[in-house]
Structure 1
Amino acid sequence: MPKSLIYRPVLIDGLITNHRIGSYARVFNTRNDLELMGVYLWNLSVCAALYPLVSSAEVTLRNAIDAALTGDLGRFWWKKTKLHYKSFVPNTNAPYPVNFLYGNFDTAAGAVIREARVRHNRNRHTPLHHEVVSKTEFSTWEFILDAEFMGNNLIWPKNLGKVFTGPWPSQQASTTLTYLKDLVTTVREFRNRLFHHEPAWKRFGVLNEANALAHLVEKIRKIEELITLISPEKTELLRKNGILQRAYSACTSAEIRRHQHAGVIHKVASMSKLAHVVELAHLNSTMEKICIYGKSKRVFTIS
């Protein structure tokens, strides 16, 4: 049982470190190591629940932009001879956002070549369009939304409605493009925290559990908003398959208590009681623990 584990010195001091876990103790006001480890494991659970949502946002954005620009400019649309920008002047360096974008695609192509050599023993592989796109960093799809690419005979605004088919925040394309870029930046930075094993709840101004939960819910809403702006149908797919609800449900005080082994355990001795707990979990979008006694005590989780 978790209460019988010895958390120090190995588990906390050695394998997690006090420097990392100290912020959990302060923000979540834990009273002992069981509660401290519980909230630490809760953060891992939150990251797991958010992973498919964040991945969906990244892949949906990438594929929507690539499909629209391939239809407009053709395959390998990111080549300098195809992807033009507003402040172009012959024989001068491109501005930072443009150079950054070109560099991202060069890096992605290099990654394709390395993978072909290492995994498939192909030493002279020419990267295909879809291979390069699949190897791009998330930041690629942030910088492609830069205002440098907005103007007459440029990719925006003529392709904006093809990529973002949901309700726009403004009727003005330039305002919408700025809003979208900021939104993608927010999602990308949060995604990086998750993927680099940082506490998902952490940011400046988060001082207690309520702040942490509010911050997480805000980020989920931003991710949901981005996906909806691209494709309301994709959002509906995630909703109907429980991906969105799982993310929101993970970011609750009840889930923290469950991981701290401080939540309610329902004793089930009849089918009617079991049905009641199942209905409770469904109505509240929570995970409920039940305990069944037979030859031995057994604990299950219902979601």
Structure 2
Amino acid sequence: MHETLYRLSNLVRVSGPVTKLLGPEYQTSLDLIEIDITFKCNLKCYNCDRSCTQAPSDSTMSVEQIRKFIDESIANNKHWSRIRILGGEPTLHPDLEEILRILLDYKEKYSPSTWLELTTNNFGPEVNRKLLKVPRKIYVNNTSKTGRFQKKFEAFNLAPCDNMMYAFTDFTNACWITNDCGMGLNRYGYYQCGAAGSIDRVFGFNIGLKKLPMDQFEFTKQKNNLCNLCGHFARRRFVPRNLCKPVNGEPKSNKWILAYDNYLKQSALNLY
């Protein structure tokens, strides 16, 4: 019996019917969210899964969009376990102080148990100056980057759909990121994870959800269209930093090469 279940669980990666029987291997954590407030970056690491290097942009979320997110959260009685602010490099957002004030107001007046976190590369004097102004009630996740190469970064731009090995894969199974990091939000809407939002930004599918998702099934279309382009899907499971094998260069498969070539020609996505 146990051997049969083990074989079935292995088939979940490639079989639609088995997925319906056992459920997706990874689901989006609906109480966690990563908000990419900007795609600006002063470091531009190789293999960036927000494409800040490959498709640079000065686009940012507006203060009004952050207020909309908070209004939606309160209207839906949403008490987030964790709200993580990142980018790009979030300290480069011109309205960072106002954004953090709005989030702190939500925490203090409505959801005291919510963990507020800002993730930064801590690279350069401008970033350091901005970090000094971050309120103490917001945890600063300092990744302490010193250069463009990051050992733990994966080959984000190797699309599984460009590899025949994944020809029959059910991409709604997603990967550990949507489970451990939760959904993503950027200026184009909500996604099953932050990396998925950056894929839509480059490819221009324009499938960001404009209302706060409350159910797993709302992400199904995104997972079918975005996970098949994501290099994270190849590994699927979390690997500790000390066990990560460094990526040689910045490899890209055909669909990514074409998408980056056409990035500046695509129509603007609808805003959140």
Say whether the fold is shared (TM-score over 0.5): no
In the superposition, the TM-score normalised over structure 2's length comes to: 0.27
* Structure (1/2) with the larger helix percentage: 1
* Structure (1/2) with the larger strand percentage: 2
**1 or 2 for the larger relative contact order (CA 8 Å, sep ≥6)?**
2
